[in-house]
């Protein structure tokens, strides 16, 4: 069972079989905005409502997630696949070009919230834990916006799937 491959390669292959709902995680300090496509987001607790998102801390532009004090997790519908690609870095668009591809509002925390997301969790940053190459952003949910109940965009086996 792939014993001849180094563990990091086996791990990446195994994680490709780990299906995840596609999100765009966003933040803003009032001047700059940043957003990334991610699947490493989940609920921690409902009392108080708390979520987490994993963000690569080795990318300099992602430091805004830690310094801004806010973030939003925007859950994508199948129709958002082009937006997911843009925020994943495909097409090498600037931050403003990426945001121009969707309709965004400013959430209560100050983070950008996708107007037609399936659901958006607007968060106050509680902590940013360093784990290896990433921060685990822990956020207290201060607002939730629910959109239409459409098919979710899922990432599995290195490709998008509609659920």
Please tell me the distance from the alpha carbon of residue 159 to that of residue 110, in angstroms, as a whole number: 32
Count of positions (residues) in the chain: 163
The Cα–Cα gap between 163 and 63 comes to 32
Model pTM? Answer: 0.94
What integer pLDDT is reported at residue 5 of this predicted model?
67
Return per-residue pLDDT of the chain as tens, 163 residues. Answer: 556 668 888 998 999 999 999 999 999 999 999 999 999 999 999 999 999 999 999 999 999 999 999 999 999 999 999 999 999 999 889 999 999 999 999 999 999 999 999 999 999 999 999 999 999 999 999 999 999 999 999 999 999 999 9
DSSP 151: P
| Greatest extent of the chain over all pairs of C-alpha atoms, in Å | 51
Q: Residue 7 carries which DSSP code?
A: H
Domains in the chain, ordered, with CATH? Answer: 7-154 (2.30.110.10)
* The pLDDT value given to residue 2: 56
């Amino acid at each position: 069972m792939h014993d001849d491959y180094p563990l990091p390669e086996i791990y990446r292959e195994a994680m490709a079989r780990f299906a995840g709902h596609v999100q765009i995680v966003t933040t803003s300090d009032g001047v700059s905005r940043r957003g990334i496509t991610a699947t490493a987001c989940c609920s921690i607790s409902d009392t108080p409502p708390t979520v987490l998102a994993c963000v690569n801390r080795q990318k300099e532009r992602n430091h805004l997630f830690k310094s801004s004090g806010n973030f939003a997790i925007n859950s994508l519908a199948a129709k958002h696949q082009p937006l997911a690609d843009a925020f994943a870095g495909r097409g090498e668009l600037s931050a403003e070009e990426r945001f121009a591809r969707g309709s965004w509002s400013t959430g209560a925390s100050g983070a950008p919230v996708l107007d037609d997301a399936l659901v958006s969790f607007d968060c106050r940053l509680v902590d940013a834990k360093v784990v290896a190459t990433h921060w685990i952003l822990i956020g207290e949910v201060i607002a939730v916006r629910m959109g239409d109940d459409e098919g979710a965009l899922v990432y599995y086996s290195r490709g998008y799937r509609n659920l």
